[in-house]
Amino acid sequence: MKKIFLLLAAAAAASGAYAEGYQVNNLSSKQNGMGHVGTAMKLNSESIWFNPAAASFQDSEFDISVGITGIASKATYTSLPDYTGKTKPQHYTSDNSIATPLYAYFNYKPLDWMSVGLAFNTPFGSSMDWGNNWPGAQLVQSINLKAYNVQPTVSFKLCEHLSVGGGLMMTWGKFDLSRSLLPIGPDNAQNKALMGALQMLNPQMPNLFEMAGDKNLMSLGLEGKAKMAVGVNLGMMWDINEQWSLGFTYRSKLKMKVDSGSIDLRMIDNAQIAQEIGQLLPQLGLDPAKLTSAVVKTELPLPASLTWGVSFRPVPKWEFAVDLQYVLWSAYDQLDVRILDPDSNTPVLNIPVSDKKYSNTLAFRFGGQYHALDWLTARMGMYVDESPVRSDYLNPETPSMTKLAYTAGVTFRPIKWMNIDIAYGYVNSADPERTGSYPYTNSVLGIVNEKLTAAGVPESQLTSPIADFSGNYTARAHTFSIGVGFSF
């Protein structure tokens, strides 16, 4: 049984720590209102992130910008009807907490041809809470992932119209995840098979799933931290004339290394059932002390990206911009997790490599802004962001869909050297819903099958531990941003 829990702990860490490749775009209140464009725009200190080369075009000596975004997201899951048509679909809605990505940018321009700056932001993250007792609890109950980034940056003008820039991205993160060790409910086909297999080993064992009903029997809670990874953010900008500018950026892949994580085993809040589980675990060889002391090690890739941008200023009051971003999500093709003894650093259990098979994606962004008055600028934008996840690997940790978003925002300048930025965005899926499945292994059933085989039970009497979790998903989000900037 020790192997059961270590295997599930590894699977939980592998699936949760990366959270379906969720990339955060809300890193500027100004640009949130303009569809997140900015590669070919002169954004003063905010260019440190959008295009380091543009920071040297700053029009003041000092520029500071700070802000926060609240993301209120919601996902729904609807089960697929069975072949008889008699089973009614089940509907579940996530209860996510509001995510709050932050940013802060500072840029200093001591010379007309050079600037230096520093950025802090949260470019990757995810938050999802389905509750403890929903049908997909064996995949995820709740997850929270955050990645933090600090980027010192320098930018140079090579000539009047051409500049280059670069920064070191120093990124680290943390995650917490909860998932059930077993599917939920006595009517689940694999639970029936597992209970039958356990009763073959011990005919006196009561049916734990019937006793629990639609409640979760056991869960694993994991927390972990990733060490700092270092990459680069490089950019070029060609400010062709007063009307046109072109920009390009490259952000390198980062490998987030997780060396250890704490594991918490949680039992059902029912004394009788907990007692039955407590009697079962020793029979199967579980040592809770070794479970909680096991060390989980893995590397989690954050993908590289290339972005091309163009901005157009037909008249001084108007500016339009387009960005095309190519994200190399194929870096997340597989995930290798190692479970090690913390004292000897030797494998406790060999975990097979987990296939993810992510695909590279394109994101198209368009925005415009109108300088209506000296103290007021209005913005609108939209973007389309492809999903990297195949339908046959669609996981409820973060139901990944091609995103279609619309944004709007305004900037107020109460005094010459200060601006207040406000933005709103509505993010929906390009399709009304997405149907997909995710292959998973009921590891407890697999281990019990091994015991039955060793006891002489024919393989024909065993149930395969491999199954798919399928359904229809929708996802949507509202974003609210506020920021403040100072130039002097």
Which are the contacts of 43, defined by CB distance < 8 A and separation ≥ 6?
Answer: 28, 30, 31, 50, 51, 54
Give exposure, 307-318, as e/b (b: 16+ Cβ within 10 Å): bebbbebeeeee
Among 233, 9, 225, 217, which Cα is nearest to 132's? 217
| Residue 453: CA count within 13 A, CB half-sphere | 11
d(CA 230, CA 398) in angstroms, rounded, equals 26
Two structure tokens written together for 359: 């695909």
Length of the chain: 488
Please state the pTM of the whole predicted model: 0.90
Which are the contacts of 83, defined by CB distance < 8 A and separation ≥ 6?
Answer: none
pLDDT computed for residue 11 by the predictor: 39
pLDDT computed for residue 139 by the predictor: 87
pLDDT computed for residue 463 by the predictor: 86
Question: In this structure, what CATH number is given to the domain that contains residue 71?
Answer: 2.40.160.60
pLDDT computed for residue 287 by the predictor: 63
> What's the per-residue H, E or C state across 371-389?
EEECCEEEEEEEEEECCCC
Question: What one-letter code names the amino acid at 25?
Answer: N
Kindly tell me the number of DSSP H helices and DSSP E strands found in the chain.
8, 22
Phi-psi region of 414 (alpha: psi -120 to 50; beta: other; left: phi over 0): alpha
DSSP single-letter state for residue 208: H
d(CA 17, CA 302) in angstroms, rounded, equals 11
Q: Measure Cα distances from 408 to 35, 36, 282, 372, 480 in Å.
A: 8, 11, 59, 15, 10
Partnered with residue 405 across adjacent β-strands are: 383, 427
Which domain, by its residues, includes 337? 1-487
Q: Can you tell me which residue has the tokens 């920009």?
A: 247
d(CA 450, CA 454) in angstroms, rounded, equals 6
d(CA 488, CA 261) in angstroms, rounded, equals 46
pLDDT computed for residue 1 by the predictor: 40
Give how many domains the chain has, as a whole number. 1
Exposure of 184 by Cβ count < 10 A (0-12 exposed, 13-18 middle, 19+ buried)?
buried
Count of CB atoms situated within 10 Å of the CB of 272: 10
Q: What are phi and psi of 178, to 5 degrees?
A: -130, 135
| Residue 240: CA count within 13 A, CB half-sphere | 10
Count of CB atoms situated within 10 Å of the CB of 72: 13
In this structure, are residues 18 and 332 in contact, taking their beta carbons and an 8 Å threshold? yes
Full pLDDT tens readout for the chain, 488 residues: 444 343 333 333 333 333 334 578 889 999 999 999 999 999 999 999 999 999 999 999 999 999 999 999 999 999 988 766 667 888 999 999 888 999 999 999 999 999 999 999 998 877 889 999 998 998 889 988 788 999 999 999 999 999 999 999 999 988 788 888 788 888 888 888 888 888 887 888 889 899 999 899 888 777 778 889 999 999 999 999 999 999 999 999 998 888 877 777 788 888 888 888 777 777 665 666 666 677 777 777 888 999 999 999 999 999 999 999 999 999 888 777 776 778 877 766 556 566 778 899 999 999 999 999 999 999 999 999 999 998 998 888 778 889 999 999 999 999 999 999 999 999 998 888 899 998 888 877 887 888 888 888 888 888 888 888 999 999 999 999 999 999 99
Which are the contacts of 215, defined by CB distance < 8 A and separation ≥ 6?
Answer: 132, 133, 184, 268, 270
